Amino acid sequence: MIDILFSAFLLSLVLLGIHSYFGLEIIKRGIIFTDLAIGQMSALGAAAALLFFNGRFLYPISLVFALGAALLSSLAARREKHLEAFIGLLYAFGVSGVFILLSQSPHGMEDFQNLLAADILFTPMKKIIQVAILYFFLGLFIVFINKKTTGFVKDFLFFATFAFTVTSSVQLAGVFVVFSLLIGPAFVAIKIKKGKPVIIAWTAGLVINVIAIAVSYRFDLPTGYTIVLLHAFTAMMFSLFKQTASPP
């Protein structure tokens, strides 16, 4: 039991490390649903790999779809006045595509549920270590682009880095879990006026994840959806009862 809970806890810690930063940045930019759209497009790539290649080339195909969504998002951020409408259409395109592709698969519904919210209790330690190393180097790259780039190049590199991150995250945890880890802790941090937002986001996210993992294990609930539920509930409660602090 300890091994199962520890691997889930470690994965949630790794995911929070970089996703909290992205969540704060996305809220600051006012493009909250961009992460959901890019994550869903990554899931569309995964669905294509599952259907046409029996799961082979899953990561590169998912990454290509996510990078395509990142390019479209960065272009829309510069050219489209109604950005959220565009992002919503991109998300709808991704969801519809996943349904269409997986409707042709004998295990379509099971695959679809895993793409939305996977059971992180049984994630192999090897995968957790691999994604932790990837996120470390992506974090270094984020520091570089923030200091050395501007304009469209900076926007595209931001979305591209985000696409790399989400592609790995979606395969491990699912679209909804990734979205909740991005927005939930960051939203709570913005509602709290004291301290550094990223530290608050890490702390809040970690506490919620630990509770969600323990509850899901104790009552035999889907871990991914339990994480989503508790993050959404906590963020909504802070939205109702806390005044908004200045954006980070």
> pLDDT for 135-155, tens place per residue?
999 989 888 887 788 777 888
Mean pLDDT of 84-105: 90
Name which residue leads in pLDDT, 88 or 121: 88
Does position 70 have pLDDT exceeding 70, yes or no?
Answer: yes
Does position 243 have pLDDT exceeding 70, yes or no?
Answer: no
Q: Give the percent of the chain with pLDDT over 90.
A: 37
Q: At residue 82, what is the residue type?
A: H
Q: Which three-class secondary structure string do you get for the chain?
A: CHHHHHHHHHHHHHHHHHHHHHHHHHHHHCCCCHHHHHHHHHHHHHHHHHHHHCCCCHHHHHHHHHHHHHHHHHHHHHHCCCHHHHHHHHHHHHHHHHHHHHCCCCCHHHHHHHHHCCCHHHCCHHHHHHHHHHHHHHHHHHHHHHHHCCHHHHHHHHHHHHHHHHHHHHHHHCHHHHHHHHHHHHHHHHHCCCCCHHHHHHHHHHHHHHHHHHHHHHCCCCHHHHHHHHHHHHHHHHHHHCCCCCCC
Q: Residue 122's pLDDT is what?
A: 79
Mean pLDDT of the chain: 86
Does position 98 have pLDDT exceeding 80, yes or no?
Answer: yes
CATH 3.30.70.20 fits 2-241, yes or no: no
Does position 64 have pLDDT exceeding 80, yes or no?
Answer: yes
Does position 203 have pLDDT exceeding 80, yes or no?
Answer: yes
Q: Residue 132's pLDDT is what?
A: 92
Mean pLDDT of 116-120: 78
Q: Residue 104's pLDDT is what?
A: 87
Asked if 242 and 45 touch (Cβ cutoff 8 Å), the reply is no
Does position 86 have pLDDT exceeding 80, yes or no?
Answer: yes
Q: At residue 199, what is the residue type?
A: I
